[in-house]
Amino acid sequence: MVTKKTIVLLFGVIFLFPVLAFAKGVPQTYVIRKGDTLWGISQRFLKDPDYWPNLWSNNQFVTNPHLIYPGQEITIYDGRILVVGEKQGANGGPDLLEERVGEDAITIKTFGGADGFLSQEEVQGSGIIIDAVDNRLLMAKDDTLFIQMGGQTDIGDIFMAFRADKPIRHPRTGTMLGYRVMNLGTVQIMEVNPTVATAVVTESYKEIERGNRIMPQTFREYHIDLKRARNPLSGFVVASSADQESLASYDVIHVDLGSDDGLEPGNLLYLARERRVTDKSLVKADLLLPDIFLGNAVVLESRKNNSSALILKCRETVFVGDKVYTVVQ
């Protein structure tokens, strides 16, 4: 749950570029290598990763933007890249470009964690506030509570009190995924008994009631090595940490891909939206248009069936229901 968020982005990115002379009418060629992506090529040679959708949509040789193959040659005309056949320009053609790419590193400090969305299993496995020392309905700082714990606890442990506020369903299938959770404050365990634990409210952001739940309080600092995913994956944005309708850079989103799918912290994601056929289109049925590229994000945490990710950069507003794709090797 993000209640107060400080995000520090430290990019240690080293690119060693050749000097590129884009003389008009004189093309240069780059041969695609294993691990290349249209996004990465656009970044390295045009300094604009957001150019890749144009690179794809204007390119008859690339039918799937996530599947380009080593050996294809990319020809650059006055700063524009077009894929040519594997043999075209191989002999006596334009000079080939060479490049080396260093490591990317990112440090993200998110106080309170990157939560805000919990699965049904996580909510059901959490502790529950069952009573207080008097008949008041609402509790606040310094009040004493009795908690039925969801797991092992010790005296002095600190937990976040939360409310499972809003059911989250998959934007496409309607399947129940979990709950939006609201951070209510923190409680500290003072005594552990066989049936309940006694706790005191140490911080209160909102009123705490019987039936509210607790989970371990975390103060996370993510030291993430940016990396491409091992396998191509696609999914959807299913929620945001702040329950916002429109999302932008540095917002935390939740996606329907997790560790069971092979998603790991540090994996880069593309954000995209389906492009709809216009009313004036000459072809209506089964016309697949290139997606609208929205931006990119990095995975912060990966749970079994869902993950949280930080939007690094977006060129358009992102909404729940938009697509996500992994950046593959």
Q: Is residue 28 part of a domain?
A: yes
Q: Sign (positive/negative) of CA torsion 62, 66, 71, 75?
A: positive
Q: Are residues 197 and 257 in the same domain?
A: no
Q: Is residue 104 part of a domain?
A: no
> What does the pLDDT look like over 264-302, one tens digit per residue?
988 889 999 988 888 887 877 777 788 888 988 889 888
Q: Are residues 283 and 308 in the same domain?
A: yes
> What does the pLDDT look like over 114-163, one tens digit per residue?
457 788 888 888 999 999 999 999 999 999 999 998 778 899 999 999 99
Q: Are residues 253 and 283 in the same domain?
A: yes
Residue-wise burial string across 197-207, b where 16 or more C-beta atoms lie within 10 A, e elsewhere: bbbebebbbbe
Q: Are residues 204 and 283 in the same domain?
A: no
**Structural domain boundaries enclosing 43:** 18-98
- State how many domains the chain has: 3
Q: Are residues 227 and 321 in the same domain?
A: yes
Residue-wise burial string across 26-56, b where 16 or more C-beta atoms lie within 10 A, e elsewhere: ebbbbbbeeebbbbbbbbbbbeebbbbbbbb
Among 200, 202, 199, which Cα is nearest to 186's? 202
Q: Are residues 129 and 207 in the same domain?
A: yes
Global pTM reads 0.58
Domain boundary among 217, 235, 270: 217
Q: Are residues 208 and 303 in the same domain?
A: no
Please compute Rg for the chain using Cα positions: 25
